[in-house]
Chain A
């Protein structure tokens, strides 16, 4: 009959068996970590083009300096860049324009004419509401440089072009709108014409209800491979429900010649297409990210940091189409300045109207 090892020896043996478990647990953790890291590297290499595109397009901060004191009564001070939060309201300036430099200056340098589309968007996450305000591009107002310096008077859209390139142009446009409308712009998003086409094509087109036949025999044929900036194209978007691809959607929002009021008609359609596009993008899946980033490469600029995009997408999903208010600056009359047809603003009426929706700075 065996009495077994003495108690001390048994404890030692048990202890010696326990020791190998620590390296074993550590080994399992190391192996698991290795798999996780390997998977992350695999995903990272797949999303690398998206990451580089996103880093290149985002975070272009607004650097508008304080205006010269006394230039405009009640003019705002230096623009604070407010990071979107889950509850605080913020204002975004959406700009759309061509960026292919198809026009040149007298010296032959690329000339970026202007922001073809200017839409202020006020987002109130707590109230789940959005207000979109279109500013007519021909509104004749004081123009400001990106540093807030008062320049000459001009069409509000020309501030974008006066600065000479996309990034600085955006800052000049923001400064002009902030000073003239006496509001604060927290963020901006700029998209090129080709970028809009690419984005809408990438999401499979958009479906809208066209309010009337949009006809144009003198539509600018300056995208989709055209090399002649003065070439014309023909547009006919029929009324009612329509499925539009990217090029058709651009035609729909850009055509103006058969609109009785020219620019205001297309600003209404621009807001309509943005709402349809937002709805389509709300179904975005992981599998679409690379393709969309590729479609937008070089065609989008924004100061919104990349890290804020998940929050913005979340806010966007929470806001139904019925909670979007569409408003338009219409307090103006036709006029002529420097040989151009312009819209002469009734500034006091415009400010009273704008400040109903956008708090004064």
Chain B
């Protein structure tokens, strides 16, 4: 090899070395090593593993979506604060809550294609530093027989008339009206056809998840202190720390005749910490989420999917059957025929909630959950399953 060729070879090698270094840098910069935290894709672009009959409505990242077969259609765009879609009985439309973050939420009626038909509630406040307590949260809409609408509303608040104290005590109570009635804070009184149906335990967060019964009764979830100076529970849970809370599913057989202090009867025990009740169409089976309680404290990393028989006439539940455990199960909903269940849970041990399916949830001896969606990160609000 001549001297010139050798020199040329070294120059070429040096250039290649520099190029390699630059290449490594650019490879890393271009995300060549994939991030473990890539943003979830649009639901409409994700793969659906399992085709279920009917249509499932759900919320994701502030948008509304409908899953039919293996196709996800967008009803409302993401980032708009949409959550908690529920079906109007008869499948004539949807109700959904629209959240304006850190301010308020309002209730809307939509058609099944996601078009807004009517805004049903109207927050009246304008949050400023000096106007505390002027806005309201409205969540958990549910429509019962005859178009009776139930919802959770954080009014009345404690000390709302004392600006220096307002508003430390903000708890949901359950209210009732007729679907179509306009809901504003000034309207939430009996003379406007909007009546309070539950009275929250103070400083607990209050009462949520109303489920209307066919005979006019009402299921709902209340939160109680597992231990505290005021002793909300007659028997504090062993090991509970001050202020720890548990939930119970309560049955109020005649909510329209309710009076303050009448909370109905508890269907579940405090130590079962059950919430998010969903009834099958015949209202003979209840699905719910119960959190394992250890030393008086509900688990923060596990919640079980539980099924039990339900008798509205006697106000009793059968034995609790924990059909899915060891995960963060949430928001069960029954199939229109009342046999199968869907619920939300992470794909793996934590995070990124997907839709799951359990066939013959009430009767199967060994239920086998199957994952329906992939790559989503659902917001935890209930999905609605229509025929």
Contact = CB atoms under 8 A, between A and B. Distances in A.
B244 A268 contact: yes
A289 to B, nearest CB: 9
Interface in A168-211: 202-209, 211
A34 B17 CA distance: 6
Given A204-B39, A206-B351, A330-B241, A234 B135 contact: yes
* Main secondary structure on B side of the interface with A: loop
Interface stretch (A2-10, A146-154, A272-280): A272-280
Contacts of A321: 301, 349-350
Nearest to B125: A234
Contacts of A326: 297, 300
A42 B25 contact: yes
B228 A261 contact: yes
A264 B296 CA distance: 14
Interface residues of B, number: 90
A42 B242 contact: no
B295 to A, nearest CB: 9
A21 to B, nearest CB: 14
A170 B18 CA distance: 45
A189 B84 CA distance: 38
B323 interface: no
A310 B180 CA distance: 59
Interface stretch (B27-35, B111-119, B189-197): B27-35
Nearest to A257: B168
B385 to A, nearest CB: 18
Given A234-B102, A238-B139, A279-B349, A287 B32 contact: yes
In this complex, the member of A205, A240, A243 whose beta carbon has the largest number of chain B beta carbons within 10 angstroms is A240
B56 interface: no
Contacts of A236: 105, 137, 139, 154
Contacts of A42: 20-25, 28
Contacts of B223: 212-213, 239
A331 to B, nearest CB: 11
Interface stretch (A57-65, A66-74, A225-233): A225-233
A218 interface: yes
Given A34-B14, A209-B302, A240-B289, A215 B228 contact: no
B241 A218 contact: no
B34 A287 contact: yes
Contacts of B45: none
A213 B209 CA distance: 11
A309 to B, nearest CB: 17
A262 B168 CA distance: 10
* Main secondary structure on A side of the interface with B: mixed
B204 interface: yes
A127 B40 CA distance: 36
B253 interface: no
A80 interface: no
B36 A212 contact: no
B255 interface: no
Nearest to A276: B350
Interface stretch (B64-72, B126-134, B143-151, B212-220): B126-134
Given A212-B223, A228-B129, A241-B380, 19 more contacts: A34-B13, A34-B17, A45-B25, A204-B38, A204-B39, A213-B205, A213-B223, A230-B129, A232-B132, A235-B102, A236-B137, A240-B331, A241-B330, A242-B380, A257-B169, A276-B351, A280-B350, A284-B36, A287-B35
Interface of A: 31, 34-35, 37-43, 45-47, 202-209, 211-218, 221, 228, 230-236, 238-243, 257-262, 264-265, 268, 271-272, 275-276, 279-280, 283-288, 291, 321-322, 326, 328, 330
Interface of B: 13-14, 16-18, 20-25, 28-29, 31-40, 102-105, 127, 129, 132-133, 135, 137, 139, 154, 157, 166-172, 202-206, 208, 221, 223, 225, 228, 230, 241-247, 273, 275-276, 289, 291, 297-303, 328-331, 344-346, 349-353, 377-381
